[in-house]
Structure 1
Amino acid sequence: MKEILFLAHRIPYPPNKGDKIRSFHLLKYLSASYRVHLGAFVDDPNDWRYVSEVAKLCGETCLLPLHSTRAQLRSLKGLVAGLPLTVPYYADARMRAWVGRVLGERPIHAILVFSSAMAQYVTEYESLLRIIDFVDVDSDKWRQYAAHKPWPMNWVYRREADYLLRYERDIASAFDRSVFVSENEANLFKALAPEAKDRILSIENGVDTAYFSDVKDHANPYSPGEAAVVFTGVMDYWANVDAVTWFARDIFPAIRRRTDTARFYIVGARPANTVRDLARIEGVTVTGAVDDVRPFLKHAHCVVTPLRIARGIQNKVLEAMAMGKSIVSTRAAVGGIEVQKPLDLLVAESSGEWVELVSRILLDGLLPFKSERNREFVVQRYGWENSFRRLGALLNRI
């Protein structure tokens, strides 16, 4: 069995948030055909209990703690070194030593790097096949953040965008292939890094359509008579915080004035204080972590993704569609999904558009409570096995 070194900035388990969903399924796919040696950081103390689950899929592992305060202090070295702050944030001598040992002792067929910050550990190994999964164009995400932040953070974010793009271009020029989560992301990076355009491709996210299915009889978590509108996601992630804050404060009160049965449920772990405060708004519920998100999706009248900052393919959209739910979304949140036929999916941008569309769903049934065509579309188009076949062919061909 051929061997692969897989480096990720975060332990790929549990698959409960965007990057970990993709990295977990990537690890699972690779482990079926290769012996995978995994190096990753653990930034959530709760994730240490999953080490044994990850080890089942791997040969050797190097899982190191990442303390956010120390990492933030370490990242300041980037200001002096002319690097993006992200690179020293994930710099660790122990990880570097482990990588060096594995590459020196094991017959490694290829190196797969998940996120640009981990590329620093394999820059000198030019003789080996190296593939990087950037997932999204992170430099552009930082540029979007800068547009929504006051000084001095907007300066910090603009600097990160500029320096990270330079770093991303250097990696793309050195590595054999650069992978992105959607064709839109790949095309954007081709425009930003034309010198590497022939080595840039997309491998889309998928969804576990057997797990995310409304076939199971999930108990209704909502009170009788409620018209539930739901948002799901990790709630300390700034883009999610911005989305639910905008919806709860600027959009939902007007919906409530049209139909007082409307309820807005914010479902997700680690809600920031800003998100917790939204529960003071009439009709808004902040659940915090839940054991299973599927009942909240299955029994919702519609799912909303009011993300004003988004890149690539949003797992929350695919999961909701797999559950057969109608969706109202910003264009940014669904821009990475290649829609080739009509779906129960509406795009809203302004607050007024959001109020009108969501109100009509709740009052007039503008979109169905259960969307068979959304479910069918995801099953046919976004299974994980289909997504990663391209990576398998790439590893065997180069």
Structure 2
Amino acid sequence: MQGLLYLTHRIPFPPNKGDKIRSFHLLQHLSKRYRIYLGTFVDDEKDWRYAQEVKSYCQASCLVPLNPVAARLRSLPALLGNQPLTLAYYRNRQLQRWVEETLQKEAVQDAVVFSAAMAQFLSRAAHIRRIIDFVDVDSDKWQQYALSKAWPFNWLYRRESACLLDYERKVASEFDSATFVSEKEAGLFKQLAPEAAHKTTFFNNGVDTDFFSPAENYANPYPVGARPLVFTGAMDYWANIDAVNWFAHAIFPKIRTRMPQAVFYIVGARPAKSVQALADLPGVTVTGGVKDIRLYLQHAWIAVAPLRIARGIQNKVLEAMAMQKPVVASLQAMEGINAVPDEELCVAENAEQFVEQVHALLEAHARRTTIGLAARNRVLQAYNWSHSLARIDALLEDGHSSKTRNE
């Protein structure tokens, strides 16, 4: 087996949130074909317990502790220049040294880099094949943040957006291939970086449909007689915080007026203070972290995804669909998901449409069942990890074929 260097900005385990789900499945897939040399950061003390699990997929690894508070302070001097704060946040001499030593000592011909921030560790490695998985167009995400914030944060986010886009374009030009989480996300980057359009592609996120399966029988966590709506996700992530606050204040009270049995459960770890405060609202429950979200999905009547800021593919939507649940999603939340509106999921463009869509589904058992079945079928057909990750195999194999032809 050939050696492959794999760099991720966060330890790729456990696969319990968006970036870790993708980075873990990529690690698992690549480890079947390559000897993996993994360089990554651990930014949550609780994640050190998973170090041995991650190392079991690797020939060698370098796990570096990262203190988020210290990293933010360390990145501030970047404001004096035109460098994105993201790069300074993740800059690390120990990891840089390990990468260089690995490339010198080991037979590594390929590197897969997960997220733009990690590309800096391979800036002097043009002799190997380098694939960057940007996942999302992060520069555009910062631009979205800027539109919803007041000064000085809107200025800071606009600056980060502009600086990061310059860096994304530089990396895409220098690396051999650039991938994104969806065809739409790749299309956006092609518009922003036309010079790299010819080597920009995508591979979809997938779902472990054996794990997220409606066939299992889980205990019902909801009150007897309730008609539960559920939102799942990491609740310290600003886009999720914004989504549940909007839903709880602007949408759910109107649903509950029509349907008093309706309850809204916010299921996810590390809820921010504003999310915790939502538990004071009638019918709203904030669970915090749970051992298994599947029981909350299985017994929910509807999964909601009212995101107003979103990039790429929302795993929370795919997981609910895989569990055969009808999903009511915002336009932003369904971007990148190839599903038929009103047949495989429902779409709401504003608060009023959310109220109407959710209420109609709560009253129509047959329609909920029909949409749930179609949703799972869509996931089975289009969001299979093996099928998606075959694109990475093709990029790596094509690189070796091109090298052989040139030699």
TM range (shorter): over 0.9
Residue 389 (structure 2) pairs with residue 388 (structure 1): yes
Deviation digits for residues 113-170 of structure 1 (CA, Å, limit 9, x no counterpart):
1000000000111111000000000000000001111111011000000000000000
Deviation digits for residues 37-62 of structure 1 (CA, Å, limit 9, x no counterpart):
00000011100000000010001110
CA–CA distance in structure 1, aligned partners of residues 38 and 315 of structure 2:
23
- 2:181·2:202 contact (CA, 8 Å) conserved in 1? yes
Which residue in the other structure is 1:98 paired with?
98
Which residue in the other structure is 1:14 paired with?
14
Which residue in the other structure is 1:50 paired with?
50
Which residue in the other structure is 2:244 paired with?
244
Q: What is the DSSP-based 3-state SS (H/G/I as helix, E as strand, rest coil) of the residue aligned with 1:374?
A: helix
CA–CA distance in structure 2, aligned partners of residues 272 and 342 of structure 1:
33
For 1:204, the aligned partner's letter is N
For 1:132, the aligned partner's letter is I
- 1:259·1:363 contact (CA, 8 Å) conserved in 2? no
Which residue in the other structure is 2:75 paired with?
75
For 1:7, the aligned partner's letter is L
Which residue in the other structure is 2:376 paired with?
375
Which residue in the other structure is 1:351 paired with?
351
- 1:313·1:335 contact (CA, 8 Å) conserved in 2? yes
For 2:360, the aligned partner's letter is R
Which residue in the other structure is 1:266 paired with?
266
Deviation digits for residues 206-261 of structure 1 (CA, Å, limit 9, x no counterpart):
01000000111111111110000000000000000000000001110111100110
- Aligned-pair RMSD on alpha carbons? 1.1
1:229-308 matches, within 5 Å, as 229-308=229-308
Q: What is the DSSP-based 3-state SS (H/G/I as helix, E as strand, rest coil) of the residue aligned with 1:7?
A: strand
- Compute the displacement of 1:74 (Å): 1.0
Which residue in the other structure is 2:405 paired with?
none
After TM superposition, the runs of 4+ consecutive aligned structure 1 residues lying more than 2 A away are 339-344, 363-367
Q: What is the DSSP-based 3-state SS (H/G/I as helix, E as strand, rest coil) of the residue aligned with 1:131?
A: strand
Q: What is the DSSP-based 3-state SS (H/G/I as helix, E as strand, rest coil) of the residue aligned with 1:219?
A: coil
- 2:229·2:301 contact (CA, 8 Å) conserved in 1? yes
Q: What is the DSSP-based 3-state SS (H/G/I as helix, E as strand, rest coil) of the residue aligned with 1:76?
A: helix
CA–CA distance in structure 1, aligned partners of residues 101 and 94 of structure 2:
11
Which residue in the other structure is 1:334 paired with?
334
Deviation digits for residues 19-51 of structure 1 (CA, Å, limit 9, x no counterpart):
000000000000001000000000111000000
For 1:379, the aligned partner's letter is L
CA–CA distance in structure 1, aligned partners of residues 342 and 307 of structure 2:
22
Q: What is the DSSP-based 3-state SS (H/G/I as helix, E as strand, rest coil) of the residue aligned with 2:4?
A: strand
Q: What is the DSSP-based 3-state SS (H/G/I as helix, E as strand, rest coil) of the residue aligned with 1:235?
A: coil
For 1:336, the aligned partner's letter is G
For 1:388, the aligned partner's letter is L
Which residue in the other structure is 1:166 paired with?
166
CA–CA distance in structure 1, aligned partners of residues 342 and 392 of structure 2:
29
Deviation digits for residues 312-350 of structure 1 (CA, Å, limit 9, x no counterpart):
111111100100000100011111012368633111121
Deviation digits for residues 280-304 of structure 1 (CA, Å, limit 9, x no counterpart):
0000000000000001000100000
CA–CA distance in structure 1, aligned partners of residues 391 and 265 of structure 2:
37
For 2:117, the aligned partner's letter is A
Residue 198 (structure 2) pairs with residue 198 (structure 1): yes
CA–CA distance in structure 1, aligned partners of residues 248 and 148 of structure 2:
18
Q: What is the DSSP-based 3-state SS (H/G/I as helix, E as strand, rest coil) of the residue aligned with 2:29?
A: helix
For 2:178, the aligned partner's letter is S
- Compute the displacement of 1:372 (Å): 1.3
| Deviates most, 355-364 or 80-89 | 355-364
| Deviates most, 338-347 or 266-275 | 338-347
- Compute the displacement of 1:367 (Å): 3.4
CA–CA distance in structure 2, aligned partners of residues 367 and 135 of structure 1:
34
- 2:339·2:345 contact (CA, 8 Å) conserved in 1? no
- 2:244·2:266 contact (CA, 8 Å) conserved in 1? yes
- Compute the displacement of 1:109 (Å): 1.8
Q: What is the DSSP-based 3-state SS (H/G/I as helix, E as strand, rest coil) of the residue aligned with 1:151?
A: coil
Q: What is the DSSP-based 3-state SS (H/G/I as helix, E as strand, rest coil) of the residue aligned with 2:209?
A: coil
- 1:302·1:369 contact (CA, 8 Å) conserved in 2? no
CA–CA distance in structure 1, aligned partners of residues 64 and 42 of structure 2:
6
Which residue in the other structure is 1:27 paired with?
27
CA–CA distance in structure 1, aligned partners of residues 108 and 340 of structure 2:
40
Q: What is the DSSP-based 3-state SS (H/G/I as helix, E as strand, rest coil) of the residue aligned with 1:277?
A: helix
CA–CA distance in structure 2, aligned partners of residues 41 and 71 of structure 1:
12
CA–CA distance in structure 2, aligned partners of residues 157 and 81 of structure 1:
15
- 1:6·1:111 contact (CA, 8 Å) conserved in 2? yes
Distance 1:249 1:50, change over 3 A: same
Q: What is the DSSP-based 3-state SS (H/G/I as helix, E as strand, rest coil) of the residue aligned with 1:287?
A: strand
- 2:312·2:335 contact (CA, 8 Å) conserved in 1? yes
Distance 1:130 1:323, change over 3 A: same
CA–CA distance in structure 1, aligned partners of residues 245 and 196 of structure 2:
39
Q: What is the DSSP-based 3-state SS (H/G/I as helix, E as strand, rest coil) of the residue aligned with 1:332?
A: coil
CA–CA distance in structure 1, aligned partners of residues 386 and 380 of structure 2:
11
Number of residue pairs matched by the alignment? 398
Which residue in the other structure is 1:37 paired with?
37
CA–CA distance in structure 2, aligned partners of residues 234 and 369 of structure 1:
27
For 2:395, the aligned partner's letter is L
Q: What is the DSSP-based 3-state SS (H/G/I as helix, E as strand, rest coil) of the residue aligned with 2:363?
A: helix
TM-score norm. by structure 1 comes to 0.98
TM-score norm. by structure 2 comes to 0.96
- Compute the displacement of 1:81 (Å): 3.4
CA–CA distance in structure 2, aligned partners of residues 17 and 137 of structure 1:
18
- Compute the displacement of 1:365 (Å): 3.9
For 2:58, the aligned partner's letter is C
